[in-house]
Structures are given as structure tokens and as C-alpha cells.
Amino acid sequence: MEDTKTYSPGLEGVIAGQTAISEIDEARASLAYRGYDIKDLAVKSTYEETAYLLLYGALPDKAQLSEFEGQLKAARGVPGEVVDLFRKLPVKSHSMDILRTGVSMLGLYDPAGWDNSHDANMNKAVRIIAGMPTLIALGHRLTHRQKPVEPRDDLTHAENFLHMLLGTPPDGPKGRIFDSSLIIYAEHEFNASSFSARVTSSTLSDMYSAITSAVGTLKGPLHGGANEAVMKMLLEIGRPEDAEGWLMDALARKERIMGFGHRVYKHGDSRAPILREASREICEFEGYCRWHDISLKVEEVVKREKGLLPNVDFYSAPVYYLLGLPVETFTPIFAMARAAGWCSHVVEQLDNNRLIRPASIYTGKRGLDYVPIEKR
């Protein structure tokens, strides 16, 4: 007899471990990193400070933050061999595939790559968090036949990324809005990519392998790939007045509307309203609200027709588009932000490790007699 009592498809609702990094309160639709509500962190903190909080478990004092910021700045460069390889990649390779390859390559050039001690992993976390933005900007520019742009020490993590990718630092509120989006994306408990990073490290594999696993897991449209898919949908809809018809057709075809619904949040995702506000702010700054207006209409129709609310990936799409970011870099940006969460999970997993190895229910045939090939 099959034991179906403890089987939960997609591991829904299964407690797969303990964590002190972040907490989702589904009933209140809230999210806290190390006890601090992200609504506060998104407006009061910086990505660098939030990354420190996630990794070290407490907010830094001024000296600690300044030292951490210095470490991140010092680790912005990537090995020349990575640049050489990126020059040989197929033209217009997808940024997420380049990032996955790049993170894996970083491990090859880190002499401490295989050292799984707590201190070595904290150092590797800095190299990964600082290196990923460079990999994305470099990879995208080189595969689009653009010259690489060197990192700048006088810019923050968020500003420097925009400078390296777009060739110019952000103006007006853009740097702060982008920084806030990175804070919002930085961590989210046992989501699929963080869990895959934990599974990889639970075998005592190294941090670069774990983060490579996580990047591959984030790529899918049911996870991080949704923000790119949302922008493609907004572009296809084209005008606010066409949103209703487009959606009714898609829903009639039983299609999933990207950027809506969530495995955990059934009463709304607290990150979405913060990004909705960011989308409004940037459209007003730019004096161009087409994508924001389509997004509002899509939210209204999907809520009315399906009772579904937007998740983190919905409003990040119009925000990133108005920041001038190429659509295919949206998911890699989610990845570079989530790097702080992923590395914190790897450190936490290894500090108290037990191999993650679930069980399954066998549904195949049993007791078959082996038939020699000439008799089949």
C-alpha cells in the first residue's frame, strides 16, 4: 500500500529546516530579515547594510559598515580569464546563462574555493555578492558588442551596477529606487533557489557550486524568471486600454499570468506594494507612465477575475524597464540581490549541517523478470 499521508506535492507546507535569517508572516503578509520588517529596510537601509544584516545576523555599526562596504568595493573586479571567456560567448547569450557560467568560473579562480570553514565562506560571500553585478554587466555588454565599463569606487553597490551596465550612473531618485529593489529581493526564507543552494551545500559541496545551483533554479519563470516574463507581457499588451481584452483572452486559454500568485502568500505579497510605489515614483520622474498604467490595469483585472494578487516580480518589471535596464537582465538582477540571502543560507546550513535527502513514494513496476535482449 502506498503511504500518501505525508506526501505533499511540491513540498508545499513541509517544514524542511530551521532558519534565523528571515521570516514570512503569511497572515500579516509581511516579511522580516533577522527581525526587521522589510518595509522599514526598503526605505531606511542600503543594500550593503542589508547584506551585512543577513550575513552577520545584526545591523552593523558605522565602522563595521564602512569596513564591509570597503570589502565589497575591493571585490568588484573579476579575473581576466572570465573576461576572456565572456568575449568568446555566443552573441546575445542570455544574461542568466552567462551569470550561471560566470559564478561557476569565479569558483575556479578562488584559492579558498573548496574551504568550507565559516570564515572562508564569509569571505567568499563578499566575493560572490560583489562579483555578480560585474559578471552581469560585463557579460551583457560583451555579448552585445559593447565595451566593458570599469567599476567605480565612489559609487554604491546599486549605483555602480547601473553605471557598469548602462555606462552612466543613475540620476534623480533612480539609484535609491534600484537600491530599494535590491533590498526587497535580497532574501525570502526557503524559496526554491535558496533551498537548492542549501541542498547543494548540505552535501559539503562548496559555496560557488551552491550559488551556481541557485542561479539555475532562479531562472525558471515560476520563480525569478517571472519578472522578465511580466515585462514581455506588458510590452505585448502595449496600451492600458488593451489590457482587459488581452487578459480575458489569456485567462480563457487558461494561461498563467506572470507576476501573480504565490506558494506562501495567499493574502498578498508585502513586497509588491513597495514596488508599486517605486513604479509610480519613477514614472512621474520620467514623465512616462504607460507601463505603470498598464500594470495597474492588469492588477485590477487579475484580482477581479482570479482573486490573485501581484507578487514581488510584477512591479519590478515596469520599475526596471524605466530604469533603462535590458529585459533579459531583470532575472540576473534578482539573482545578484538574492546573493546575500543565498550566501547566508549556505553559511547557516554548514554551521549546523545535516544532509538534505528526502524520501519518495515509488510508483513504478515491481518484481519483473529480466528478459534477454534477443527475446524482447
List contacts with ligand COA (CB under 6 A): 10, 222-223, 226, 256-263, 306, 308, 311-313
On whether the CB atoms of residues 143 and 89 are closer than 8 A, the answer is yes
Integer Cα distance of 22 and 341 in angstroms: 9
Residue 265 Cβ vs ligand COA, minimum distance, rounded to whole Å:
9
- Residue 310, classed as helix, strand or coil, is strand
The amino acid that residue 251 corresponds to is L
Residue 10 Cβ vs ligand COA, minimum distance, rounded to whole Å:
6
Residue 313 Cβ vs ligand COA, minimum distance, rounded to whole Å:
5
Residue 317 Cβ vs ligand COA, minimum distance, rounded to whole Å:
10
Cβ-closest residue to ligand COA? 261
Integer Cα distance of 123 and 128 in angstroms: 9
Other CB atoms within 10 Å distance of the CB of residue 128: 26
Residue 220 Cβ vs ligand COA, minimum distance, rounded to whole Å:
9
Residue 376 Cβ vs ligand COA, minimum distance, rounded to whole Å:
40
- Pick 85 or 251: Cβ nearer ligand COA: 251
Q: Hey, what's the cell of 347?
A: 553559511
- Pick 30 or 64: Cβ nearer ligand COA: 30
Q: Among 50, 320, 15, which Cα is nearest to 184's?
A: 50
- Pick 152 or 223: Cβ nearer ligand COA: 223
Sheet holding 30-33, edge to edge: 22-25, 30-33, 36-37
Integer Cα distance of 42 and 37 in angstroms: 9
| Residue corresponding to grid cell 547543494 | 200
30-35 contacts: CB < 8 A, separation 24 or more? 30/270, 31/188, 31/270, 31/271, 33/186, 33/187, 34/58
Taking 3-state DSSP, the helix, strand and coil percentages for the chain, each rounded to the nearest 5, stand at 60, 5, 35
> Which residue out of 262, 269, 292, 345 is catalytically annotated?
262
> Which residue out of 97, 179, 269, 313 is catalytically annotated?
313
- Pick 8 or 352: Cβ nearer ligand COA: 8
262 tagged catalytic: yes
Q: Among 280, 208, 195, 154, which Cα is nearest to 21's?
A: 195
Contacts of 57 (CB under 8 A, 6+ apart): 20, 34
- Pick 176 or 256: Cβ nearer ligand COA: 256
- Pick 312 or 343: Cβ nearer ligand COA: 312
Q: Hey, what's the cell of 350?
A: 554548514
Cα end-to-end distance, the chain, whole Å: 30
| Residue corresponding to grid cell 524482447 | 376
Residues known to be catalytic: 262, 313
